[in-house]
Amino acid sequence: MFNKFWKAGVASAMVVESSLAAAAPLTFIPPNDPTGYIGSTHANDGWSMGRGIGFRVTTQETISSIGVYVDLSNTELHWGIYTIDSLGNDYSKLDTLASGSSVVTTNGLAWVDFNVSDVVINEYWNYLIEFSFDGASNQNFYYYNRDESWDQGIYRSLDGEALSRFESYYNVPAIRVNVANIPEPASLALVGAGLLALGVRRRRS
């Protein structure tokens, strides 16, 4: 039915718009279609009005970059991270946490990532990561989630968005996030011990 290909093929192609934090990015992948498919070729397929993924989180997270899997030629790709009032039909964007655009050319389907200025997302809020472009792409890649939301790590109620709606949209774009490299408690303790030792040494001298 669909032109499927393995997830390993998705992960192998990368176009990085800017340097990423040290942690590995997390790709949002619905469990009922882990491979995805090429949904259309030489078409816009609704991207001019925005396609994205909505979610909640169970704990505070700091996003340092977002990425989308596209095949574009000399096309201005717009992106944004928003707080929204719901994860259902006819939602409203409440606030823009970060946004931007860049002219993009890829060599086939590839990841395009954008750095953001450490966007903090909090539990209980609804969020949307969205991308858009005018004109036709070379290929449009999607996961077919059958309009079923899913949970992945701290992210909850993940679902695809298009035309400002979540419900009734079965095609989820391939989107990923990278989180800021925050020191673990053990690392912070080592730093604190080092500063304490330095203070003691200065006192003795």
CA 190 to chain centre: 32
pLDDT of residue 11: 34
- Are 58 and 88 in contact by the 8 Å Cβ rule? The answer is no
The three-class DSSP label of residue 153 is coil
pLDDT of residue 74: 98
Spatial separation of the C-alpha atoms in residues 45 and 41, rounded to whole Å: 9
pLDDT of residue 118: 84
List of residues 6+ apart from 22 with CB closer than 8 A: 181
β 51-57/155-162 pair status: antiparallel
Weakly modelled stretches of the chain, pLDDT under 50? 1-22, 182-202
Would you state the structure tokens that stand for residue 13, as one six-digit string? 């192609």
Tell me the pTM: 0.79
pLDDT of residue 193: 44
The fold of 7-204 is Jelly Rolls (2.60.120)
Per DSSP, what are the bridge partners of residue 55?
127
Q: Could you give phi then psi for residue 167, rounded to 5 degrees?
A: -65, 145
- What letter would DSSP give residue 47? G
Spatial separation of the C-alpha atoms in residues 82 and 180, rounded to whole Å: 18
pLDDT of residue 17: 40
pLDDT of residue 168: 62
The domains of the chain are located at 7-204
Per DSSP, what are the bridge partners of residue 56?
156
Tens-place pLDDT, residues 143-170: 999 989 999 999 999 999 998 888 767 8
> Alpha carbon of 82 to those of 6, 128, 172: distances in Å?
31, 5, 18
